[in-house]
Amino acid sequence: ADIYHLTASQLENLVVAPREPRSERAVPRKLGKVGRNVVEQIERSKRNDLSRLIYALGIRHVGEKAGATLARYLRTMQAVLDSPVEKLQSVPDIGPVVAASIRLFADEPRNRELVARLADAGVNMTSQAPEPVPESSEHEGPLAGKAFVLTGTLASMSREEAKAALERLGARVTASVSKKTDYLVAGSDAGSKLEKARQLGIETLDEDAFRALIMRE
């Protein structure tokens, strides 16, 4: 958490040792502009979604996917830390092992202190992802009955955020492309799913078209 309390002035004036200390040209130097850039990156990281924070805390058995799911359903870091095992297990795909690991982490005072220091430093503690859709509304909405597959990397949102946006509009998001797929959303570095969709004649949406679709609906 100390890294979030560094200032541009501190890093600009930080003197670093040369890579080759025995060289005749080797002289210590200040970070200067590099230091300012580092501080800017640190500041930007404070605005990351809660899912990134949960994953970065290094809780045992909690990977990126579990972090995204916990953030989406529990919405705040405080809720993650305070939820009993039973509530944690009610979150989709969070089983007893993961739930117990989260409680073990949350019950350790030094971990609570770490999270508090991060919050004091201005690190985001809430989820920016769309709230999960109630099961009763799965068949409602302008995209009801439509099946989507996501592939590649989207620059403007995570895979979980894209999935949540589609589900809010009534669409189903499946893992694989088939004849029953209505749309393939293809981000950068799209793989074999894109080729299969083309072979099957499935309509493909790039990121701009996808964003236009969900915003229009």
Q: What angle do CA 184, 186, 187 make, to 5 degrees?
A: 155
Is 116 found in the same domain as 169?
A: no
Closest CA to 198 of 180, 177, 213, 212: 177
| Residue 130 within any structural domain of the chain | no
- If asked whether residues 35 and 74 sit together in one domain, one would say no
| 145 and 185 share one domain | yes
Using DSSP's 3-state secondary structure scheme, residue 162 falls into: helix
- The total of structural domains in the chain comes to 3
Per the DSSP assignment, residues forming a β-bridge with 205 are 185
Determine the pLDDT at residue 217: 67
Look at residue 135 in the predicted model and tell me its pLDDT.
55
Q: Are residues 141 and 212 in the same domain?
A: yes
Question: Residue 47 is encoded by which pair of tokens?
Answer: 């605005």
**Would you say residue 126 lies in a domain?**
no
174: phi then psi, degrees, rounded to nearest 5: -115, 165
4 DSSP assignment: G
Is the whole-model pTM more than 0.95? no
The CATH number linked to 77 is 1.10.150.20
CA distance readout (Å), 158 to 82, 98, 164: 26, 22, 10
Q: Domain residues for 188?
A: 135-216
Question: Is residue 139 domain-shared with residue 196, that is, in the same domain?
Answer: yes
Are 92 and 110 found together in one domain? yes
| pLDDT value for 34 | 81
Is there a single domain that holds both residue 40 and residue 58? no
Residues 107 and 141 in one domain: no
Asked whether residue 186 is domain-assigned, the answer is: yes
pLDDT in tens, the chain (217 residues): 788 878 878 877 777 767 666 655 555 677 778 878 888 899 999 999 999 999 999 999 999 999 999 999 999 999 999 999 999 998 988 999 999 999 999 999 999 999 999 999 999 999 988 777 665 445 578 999 899 999 999 998 998 899 999 988 999 999 889 999 999 999 999 989 999 999 999 999 999 999 999 988 6
Residue 166, domain CATH = 3.40.50.10190
Please state, in angstroms and rounded to a whole number, the distance separating the CA atoms of residues 123 and 90. Answer: 27
CA–CA separation, 196 and 161 (whole Å): 24
How far is Cα 20 from Cα 124, in angstroms, rounded to an integer? Answer: 40
Contact between 50 and 128 under an 8 Å Cβ cutoff? The reply is yes
The pLDDT score that the predictor gives to residue 9 is 80
